């Protein structure tokens, strides 16, 4: 029994540390809320990056999101998960910071 519990724990840990940690998801939804004939508005919502130092694949992926050419960027926080990740996160956002946007803190954000 203890062996089974330990194996389940190890599997869960491996999934979280390897699979979920590198599983970046981009989802697209068309939301018909504008008036008929209005120019479409592309909103990029970023959330829960939980960036820690050295996560270059995640930083590169975030930077690539600018190619979507969003009209507005909405960041709903939990951007970092380490005090030394503030500057790397800003660098990952890169050109997205030049676009109109809003930000709210998550429970992991320091400032
Ligand atoms: Fe989070």
Express each pLDDT in 4-41 by its tens digit: 888 888 888 877 777 777 789 999 999 999 999 999 99
User: Distance, CA 78 to ligand 1 centroid (Å)?
Assistant: 5
- Specify the pTM: 0.82
User: Distance, CA 2 to ligand 1 centroid (Å)?
Assistant: 31
DSSP state of 109: -
User: Distance, CA 38 to ligand 1 centroid (Å)?
Assistant: 34
Structure tokens at 39: 């120019």
Express each pLDDT in 41-83 by its tens digit: 999 999 999 999 999 999 999 999 999 999 999 999 999 999 9
Other beta carbons within 10 Å of 31: 7
Structure tokens at 31: 């939301």
């Amino acid at each position: 029994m203890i062996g089974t519990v330990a194996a389940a724990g190890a599997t869960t840990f491996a999934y979280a540390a390897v699979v979920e940690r590198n599983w970046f998801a981009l989802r697209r939804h068309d939301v018909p809320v504008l008036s008929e004939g209005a120019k479409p508005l592309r909103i990029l919502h970023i959330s829960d990056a939980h960036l820690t130092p050295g996560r270059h694949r995640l930083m590169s992926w975030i930077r690539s999101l600018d190619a979507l050419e969003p009209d507005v960027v909405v960041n709903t926080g939990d951007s970092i998960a380490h005090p030394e990740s503030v500057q790397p996160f800003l660098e990952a956002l890169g050109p997205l910071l030049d676009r109109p946007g809003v930000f709210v803190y998550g429970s992991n954000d320091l400032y």
